[in-house]
Structure 1
Amino acid sequence: MKIADLLKIPILRNTNIIAGATGTEREVFTVNMMDAPDIIPYLKPNELLITTAYHLKDHPDALLELVEAMAEQNCAGLGIKTKRFVQEVPEKVIETANQLAFPIIELPLEQSLGEIVNHSLHAILNQRANELTYVMETHKQFTNLIMDGKGIPKLLDRLSEMIGFPIVLINQYLKPTSQPNSNSKTLTIIKQLLAEGFNFSLSKTTFFSFSVLFNKQTYSVFPIYTSGKNFGYLTILGEIKESDHLTTLTIEQAANVISFALMQEHTLKQHERSVRNDFFTHFLEDAFSSQEEITNRAKEFSIQVNKPYICLVGKLDETNTNTSYSKLQQKIDTIFEFIEEELFDSTISIHFFSKGKLCILLYEGEEVSSDTMDFITELLRELQTKISTHFETTISFGVSNFSQNFFHIKNAFIEAKSALKEGSLSRKTQYISFYRTKDIIELLRAIPQEDLKNFYTYTLQGFTTANKEEENILLQTMSVYLETHCQISETAKRLYVHRNTVIYRLEKCEDLLGKSLKDADTTLQIRIALRIKTLLNL
């Protein structure tokens, strides 16, 4: 309760403010009587002290010392019964009280100090009780909005209506998560000021205000905490004064409900993330019985199995080897959550997974080109910059070749890990390493499956026999013959057959193909076709 409000209660209506009238906005938490001259060590902030000044009647300097000490300790004010032991307050004391905006109140003679204390405390307690009732009702309103599924944006709209100011909810990475009644320029200003101008080592009940000169706008910032950690800031586009208890309490109740709602959202996201990661891990470990099962499970996570993908694998550059495993994993989880949030808000289609110390990003695209790789490089560079800024650590990425569909992601994952490892072996940090194709199999993977099948069919067209077993024997003989650089004796040795048998089989192969195995272009095509057969399990 403010001094100005306290003086409106019936028992204090006949009081006069004889000094420090500009300080009547001071808050009164309690009222006490001065019954001894050594009161100064026992003074408390926001305390209204009342006295007959009996102990000070012959010591005017002591009264000056008392006023200065009370002002220094942020006491609410001093009430004195004049015309009893002290006829008037010394001019020096009045002058000092005016300078300090410290109220000195002349109390009525007809009321006892005990009555004044009792009535004042009763008024203060009544106000506190009313505030508590208001707080409980407000908290109930906000909680009902969340319980009814209206969400945080609706809660912020309601809070904005109650306090009369627009509101922006900014997360711990200074990213707006809800921004009713605000514009991009205002958000940019707030983000810059939060990032550059303030150090948020705030207690859970602390808030502060700041003003911007160019638009003459004042902003008030309330921290939001979840599980003891700072989630972000509830930013009010207006000035909230500490003396405005009801408004402050309203905002604090909203902040508390938002905190619980965010913790609930975080728990749900963790569960969803765990289920998604389990699916991807099982997929990499070939734990599913069929492609149909993989397709059905992938649909749950909005993954289109027939789309082409590029796999990106990231890992933190571990520079501090003294960090415990639990702390390191906690840091990794936090950074991976940050990456996921960044990608979630982007317009591009990227699926996020994590596996131990690795994060896996599946970029969904239609075709591979230099522009695609430039875009991926720019995206990863931006993520690296943000992680370095927010977490003071670095992360590196390995990038796979283009994969024709989701079923080939396992190979792409191996490629991306290989590229990541190559960069680490050169002792680089914050790098982006692209996988380089090592053999013809990797080249073939970059070609659409339909085209591979067409090439295989065209090359080996006519190579069919009535006996499937005989067909397989002929293909095997031709394969070994080409691998041994067309050496008949070596082919016979490897197949454990007579060389005449090899010659017979090769002649039959040429009859079926209608081509000579001595032609270099023909043998090259057959070699490639046989690799395609192995790759596609034809």
Structure 2
Amino acid sequence: MKVSEILKNPAMEGYKIIAGESGLDREVLHVNMMDAPDIINFLKPNELLVTTAYHLKDQPNLIIELIEEMNEQGCAALGIKIKRFLQEIPKEVIEVAERLSFPIIELPAQSSLGDIVNQTLSSILDKKTNELRFAIDTHKQFSNHIISGKGIPKLLKRLADLINFPVVLLDQYTKPIASSHSNRKISHIMETMYLKDSSVYFPNTSFFTFSTLPEKETFSVFLVNTHQKKAGFLIVIGEINPADHSATLTIEQATNVISFELMKENALMQYTRRIKNEFFFNFTEGNFTSQEEVINRAKEFGLKSEQNYLCAAGKLEQGDFSGSYTQNQLEIDSIYEYIEDELVSLSLSTHLFTRGDTCILLYEVKGSSQDTTNYVHSSLELVQAKIKERFERSISFGVSNISRNFFHVKNGFKEAHDALQSGQLSGQTGFIQGYRTKDIMELLRIIPAVDLKDYYLNALQPLLELGKDEEQTLLQTLFVFLETHCQISETAKRLFVHRNTVVYRLDKCEELLGSKLNDSELTLQIRLAMRIKTMLDL
């Protein structure tokens, strides 16, 4: 209740406002009756203090200190029985109270402090009871809207009618979900907020207001939570005064019902995601028994068997996160949901799946291959930029070649995954790498170094047992001979030696290796061993 409403109680009949009349709209939630020097230590915000001022009768100027401290603590007002112990309020006290808009009330002589306290508390309790009844009735109205299947848009329309302001529901990233009214101006403001990622600048409070200078509009924002998680924002196009309990209670009940509805929708979405991810896992692992089963299951998720597809596999950089494993998994899930909301919702031709800590984006190819590749790269760059800005994390992608139908997507996923791994092995971060067939050096890098060294020693062991100089001479001659496609004259030319010298060296190599150099199996072993020597710097 406001101070002005408290003054209407019968026990306050005959009151007089001594100072601070402009503060009569202060909220009163508690009443205290005390006469003690340290009274300020026992007061609470929004409290009305009634007193005889007995402890101030010899030092009336201490009232200034009391008023300043009460104002600082957010108390509502001070009621004093004057001419019992304190004969008058000093002029200086009145000036301070006027400056602070802090009400000082002369209590009626005929009413006891006990009656004033009892009636005031009774009025506060009555109002609270009425507010509680109102909240229950309002909650029932909103719940009935949802239960009857009218959905969130109808609920927002009902809320707007009750508070006389249009309302808009945004998700946790300020993306519009639903609105009570179709208004081009409001829609433009909301879309601008979303594009500018305005939620990053929203304070972490349950209620706040802000204004936009160009439109000169004031917006009241109420947080919508679901199970200790921020689910969105309810935006009122207008200023809601926190002291307006009727409006705030109505909006609070609306946000409660909306949060339950969003939880239900989220549970359905999680179930759908799980079923979809299980399908993609079983498909890529070859667990289906027939193509017909694959076609029928794919149709359930809007996937056409004869459609061309391009696959992208993405993974977050682990070095960007310092929390626990569980926290990391929760954030990964949140980021992949964000990708789905941001990218997939913008295009009906993009599908998202997840496998462990990898997300898979499946693009439908409808134009030329080059146009599709350009579109995929630009959309992935957009995803990378948004995740970096919002979550301060980097994500890398591997991109496959085009799959000519859905059944080839199994190979497309492997290509995308291989491209992702190839980029990670090269030490890159935040990359987008297309798939290409691995050359021999890339394949060798996949094999552990210790195994490669064993292969090298086994293949060239007879040559490696020679002295260092002779070993180097024969290995160099073998290498050049094989690189020149076994041309003796070209080998001699490159080594700046006589042709007979090359023949002598090659004969000695054949003798040591126990096989002719025209044996394709032997030359393949030597070529691989030479590559390993270069790669491991042996």
* TM value normalised by structure 1: 0.77
Partner of 1:150: 150
Determine helix, strand or coil for the equivalent of 1:399.
Answer: strand
Is 1:248 equivalent to 2:251 in the alignment?
A: no
- Contact kept, 8 Å, 1:312 with 1:400, in 2: the verdict is yes
Determine helix, strand or coil for the equivalent of 1:157.
Answer: helix
- Contact kept, 8 Å, 1:368 with 1:402, in 2: the verdict is no
- Stretches of structure 2 that go unaligned for 5 or more consecutive residues are 440-538
Is 1:399 equivalent to 2:399 in the alignment?
A: yes
Partner of 1:229: 229
- When residues 354 and 216 of structure 1 are mapped into structure 2, their CA distance, relative to the original with a 3 A threshold, is same
How far is 1:188 from its partner? 4.4
How far is 1:317 from its partner? 1.9
How far is 1:421 from its partner? 1.6
How far is 1:366 from its partner? 2.9
Partner of 2:533: none
* Per-residue CA distance 1:388-418 (angstroms, 9 max, x = gap): 1111101111111111111111111111111
CA distance in 2, matches of 1:321, 1:117: 57
* Per-residue CA distance 1:135-165 (angstroms, 9 max, x = gap): 1111111122222222222222211111111
- When residues 276 and 331 of structure 1 are mapped into structure 2, their CA distance, relative to the original with a 3 A threshold, is same
CA distance in 2, matches of 1:134, 1:260: 20
Partner of 2:374: 374
- Contact kept, 8 Å, 2:173 with 2:199, in 1: the verdict is no
How far is 1:196 from its partner? 7.8
CA distance in 1, matches of 2:165, 2:101: 30
- When residues 168 and 97 of structure 1 are mapped into structure 2, their CA distance, relative to the original with a 3 A threshold, is same
CA distance in 2, matches of 1:301, 1:179: 28
Partner of 1:354: 354
| Matched letter for residue 49 of structure 1 | L
Identity %: 52
Determine helix, strand or coil for the equivalent of 1:84.
Answer: coil
CA distance in 1, matches of 2:20, 2:196: 36
| Matched letter for residue 72 of structure 2 | E
CA distance in 1, matches of 2:102, 2:196: 34
After alignment, is 125-134 or 303-312 more displaced? 303-312
Partner of 1:130: 130
CA distance in 2, matches of 1:192, 1:163: 28
Partner of 2:298: 298
CA distance in 2, matches of 1:282, 1:192: 37
Determine helix, strand or coil for the equivalent of 2:360.
Answer: strand
| Matched letter for residue 15 of structure 2 | T
* TM value normalised by structure 2: 0.77
After alignment, is 109-118 or 178-187 more displaced? 178-187
- Contact kept, 8 Å, 2:308 with 2:366, in 1: the verdict is yes
After alignment, is 278-287 or 214-223 more displaced? 214-223
Determine helix, strand or coil for the equivalent of 2:61.
Answer: helix
Q: Please show how residues 26-65 of structure 1 align to structure 2 within 5 Å.
A: 26-65=26-65
How far is 1:359 from its partner? 0.9
CA distance in 1, matches of 2:195, 2:66: 45
Partner of 1:198: 201
Partner of 2:173: 173
* Per-residue CA distance 1:408-462 (angstroms, 9 max, x = gap): 11111111111112221221112111123579xxxxxxxxxxxxxxxxxxxxxxx
* Per-residue CA distance 1:225-284 (angstroms, 9 max, x = gap): 122122222121111111111111111111122222212211111111111111111111
Determine helix, strand or coil for the equivalent of 1:158.
Answer: helix
Determine helix, strand or coil for the equivalent of 2:211.
Answer: strand
Q: Aligned residue pairs: how many? A: 436
| Matched letter for residue 419 of structure 2 | A
- Contact kept, 8 Å, 2:32 with 2:43, in 1: the verdict is no
How far is 1:14 from its partner? 2.4
Partner of 1:257: 257
Partner of 2:17: 17
Partner of 2:339: 339
- Contact kept, 8 Å, 1:160 with 1:166, in 2: the verdict is yes
- Contact kept, 8 Å, 2:200 with 2:390, in 1: the verdict is no
CA distance in 1, matches of 2:321, 2:33: 62
How far is 1:349 from its partner? 0.9
How far is 1:15 from its partner? 1.4
Partner of 1:500: none
* Per-residue CA distance 1:358-393 (angstroms, 9 max, x = gap): 111111123542111111111111111111111110
How far is 1:289 from its partner? 1.2
- Contact kept, 8 Å, 1:308 with 1:367, in 2: the verdict is no
* Per-residue CA distance 1:52-80 (angstroms, 9 max, x = gap): 22232222112222212211111110111
Partner of 2:189: 186
* Per-residue CA distance 1:103-150 (angstroms, 9 max, x = gap): 011111111111111111111100000001111111111122222222
